[in-house]
Structure 1
Amino acid sequence: MRSLKLNGTIVNDENEAYVIAEIGNNHQGDVEICKQMFDAAKECGANAVKLQKRDNRSMFTKAAFNQVYNSENAFGRTYGEHREFLEFGEREYAVLKEYASEIGIDFFATAFDLNSADFLASFDMPFYKIASGDLTNTPLLKHVAKIGKPVILSTGGGTMADVRRAYEAIMPINDQLAILQCTAAYPCQPEDMNLRVIETYMREFPDVVIGLSDHQNGIAMAMVAYTMGARIFEKHFTLDRTWKGTDHAFSLTSKGLSNLVRDLHRARTSLGNGVKQPLDLEVSPIKKMGKKIVAARDLPAGTVLTFEDLAFKCPADGMPPYELDNVLGKTLTAELPEDGDLSFDILK
């Protein structure tokens, strides 16, 4: 059975969904705001909070780092300055790791490059995320796999060959892997989510947990994904959709995240055991709404029953209507008043 242990929580096909509040850089570069987001995610019932870690100067070309960034969401004059403003370092990660432990929520991050992977390893992160952009970055995949902690891999923008290559790069080193269906669009429209890929992944990778990195502006599609087998869900999270930044507009606020967690828990229990049988709680309403066979009028003994002699009325506390063909043409051995219950005891 596919199973993955995430900091003590067992994630498998039978258990509840594991929900990740993707904070990313929505903290505005402020560690106190980030702690508030940890609090809110915990209160909403999320299992984990996630940041993004980049070593910007080694990750971007000089041209990309120094490119003028005129966006209304910019926190600096150049793209590099913008990214550096939002980047947390050793002090912030130390504070946040301790705080997450205090409030009881899992804390981890996406490693966007080799240096960042090593940085996160120095904080003994319980597991690691690989972003869709690094699905084909085999050196990074193998480097993170060697750390020896679970790896959660997003697959946006990839082909099945890309996903298979990544799987084959990681698994011989570290079989603690989860693969997330993802569409690399921000936000993503429901018609672009291709959730049937989850079923494909379930067939193609029977030994790893499957999930959904969900950039859709809502929670309904996550319920569909759960019924298909997804058990890890990552949703972007913010405290205020009006804050400066590209991710806030499609991120869930606390109300949305709470509803997501609630509905995913309901999704698990609503699936049941697959055995069609009446429940105790159905007995009373079915008796009230269902029908039984009764006399349509006063019928004397010796009546040979026809369809016109009978009626189907509530409550369903007598002979069920499916017995009709077994009583037509039979003879009453006793009189039956209007609305009287028909039974095989008075038929021959």
Structure 2
Amino acid sequence: MRELEIAGRRIADGTGAYVIAEIGHNHEGVLEKAEELFRQAAAAGAHAAKLQKRDNRTLFTKAMYDQPYEGRNSFGPTYGKHREALEFGRDEYLHLAGVAKEVGIDFFSTAFDIPSVDFLMELDMPAIKIASADLTNTPLLSYAAKTGKTLIVSTGGGTMDEVRRACDTILNINTDLALLQCTAVYPAAPADLNLSVIETFRREYPEVVVGFSGHDLGCEASYIAYTLGARVIEKHFTLDQSRPGSDHHFSLDPPQLAELTSGLERIRQSLGSPGKIRADNEASAISKMGKKLVAARDLPSGHLLTEQDIACKSPGDGLKPYRLEEILGRRLLTPMLQDDGFSLDLLDTKPGGEAVLTATGSHEH
């Protein structure tokens, strides 16, 4: 069965979307700003707030760590210093875990390296996110899978063979996996999204929850993703899209995140059940606009019914038109006035003694 749990929340084909507010480093290294992002994400209806965790000294080569990094989006003179300025440690994570518990939102993080997996495990995070860039990092995938935590894996920039290799690596160890279609373009245009891949993932992995990590602008693609079967929806989240930083400009702000969560719930309700039924609240409209079989004109007792004697008219509170053949060729046992509805007890029987229909003003419901 295609389902998993994160912090006690069940995610399956029959549930609503599990919405992750990807804060990343949009807190800009300021704990108070991160706390406000958590509170706003919860108020907007998100189920989880997510950060990113890196062990920067071991993650980057010395040359990359020390390379100059200047410009509007920089928080330090080198790329390494920039990353360190945005990194939270144990104290900040513990504080934010308390905030998440207070406001009723799940809290976990992306692990970019093995030391970060260990860091998140020490805090007993309910899930671990793996970024698109690590889809081919089978040592990290294997290490994270062995924690037993739910893994949420993005697939941006990957090929189907790379997705298969990643899934094989994880599923041989841990079946609690959410596989997210993603495009590593920031922001992604509609033509970049390839949402049909969601259906491909669902066909190839019938036991795996599938989702969408969107770098697109707005909510529309997430709505389409849900209708295609995505049950985890991840969107970047900010308090101010104009702030410096590489992610703010394509992130949702609080009103947009609220629209996303409410819109996804509307879509869940709209999709409803795959079984075609007549709902109770359809009955009055069907009765008013539907048709029943009635006498086309005044008819005497003993009359042999032909097509010219029978009409289909509204309201549809009587014998349905598909019963026409059961009436034709039978004789009336009582007179009928024009527009009287046919019923089952006042028609003569056909040769052979079959039960037949009759004509009165009574109605079949």
Q: Does 1:202 align with 2:206?
A: no
Deviation at 1:81, TM superposition (A): 3.4
Measured against aligned partners, the alpha-carbon deviations of 1:183-205 in whole angstroms (never above 9, x if no partner) come to 22222233332223222222322
Secondary structure of the structure 1 residue equivalent to 2:5:
strand
Secondary structure of the residue aligned to 1:195 is coil
User: Residue 44 of structure 2 aligns with which residue?
Assistant: 44
Structure 1 pair 172–331 and aligned structure 2 pair: CA distance change class (3 A): closer
- What is the alpha-carbon distance in structure 1 between the residues aligned to residue 314 and residue 70 of structure 2? 72
Question: Alignment partner of 2:4: what SS?
Answer: strand
SS at match of 1:147: coil
Secondary structure at 2:294 match in 1: strand
- What is the RMSD computed on CA atoms of the aligned residues? 2.7
Give the TM-score taking structure 2 as reference length.
0.84
Deviation at 1:130, TM superposition (A): 0.5
The whole-number CA distance in structure 2 between the counterparts of 1:314 and 1:9 is 49
Distance 1:318 1:102, change over 3 A: closer
Moved more, 107-116 or 216-225: 216-225
In the TM superposition, 1:250-261 aligns within 5 A as 250-261=250-261
Tell me if 1:140 matches 2:179: no
Q: Percent identity?
A: 55
Cross-structure match for 1:286:
286
Matching residue of 1:129: 129
Q: Where does residue 231 of structure 1 map in the other structure?
A: 231
3-state SS, counterpart of residue 288 of structure 1: helix
Give the stretch that moved more between structures: 138-147 or 324-333. 324-333
Q: Quick one: structure 1 residues 250 and 308, their matched pair in 2 at CA, closer, same or farther if it must change by over 3 Å?
A: farther
**CA shift for structure 1 position 304:** 5.8
Structure 1 equivalent of residue 362 of structure 2: none
1:158-237 map, 5 Å: 158-237=158-237
User: In the TM superposition, what is the alpha-carbon distance from 1:230 to its structure 2 partner?
Assistant: 2.3
Give 5+ residue unaligned stretches, structure 2: 349-365
TM-score, normalisation: structure 1: 0.88
- Once residues 275 and 207 of structure 1 are traced to their aligned partners in structure 2, the CA distance between those partners, rounded to angstroms, is 22
Give a deviation string over 1:39-70, Cα, whole Å, max 9, x none: 11112222111001122333233443344444
Task: Tell me the alpha carbon deviations over residues 124-181 of structure 1, each in whole angstroms, 9 at most, x when there is no partner.
Answer: 3222110000000112212222333221111111112111211222233333322212
For 1:36, the aligned partner's letter is E
The alignment of Structure 1 onto Structure 2 pairs a total of residues equal to: 348
Deviation sequence 1:191-250 (CA, Å, 0-9, x none): 332223222222322333222212222323333333433222211112222222232222
Structure 1 gaps, min length 5: none
User: Shift of residue 110 of structure 1?
Assistant: 0.5
Higher relative contact order (CA 8 A, sep 6+): 1
Instruction: Give CA deviations for 1:55-98 in whole Å, capped at 9, x if unaligned.
Output: 23332334433444444333334433333322222332222122
Q: Which amino acid aligns with 2:37?
A: M
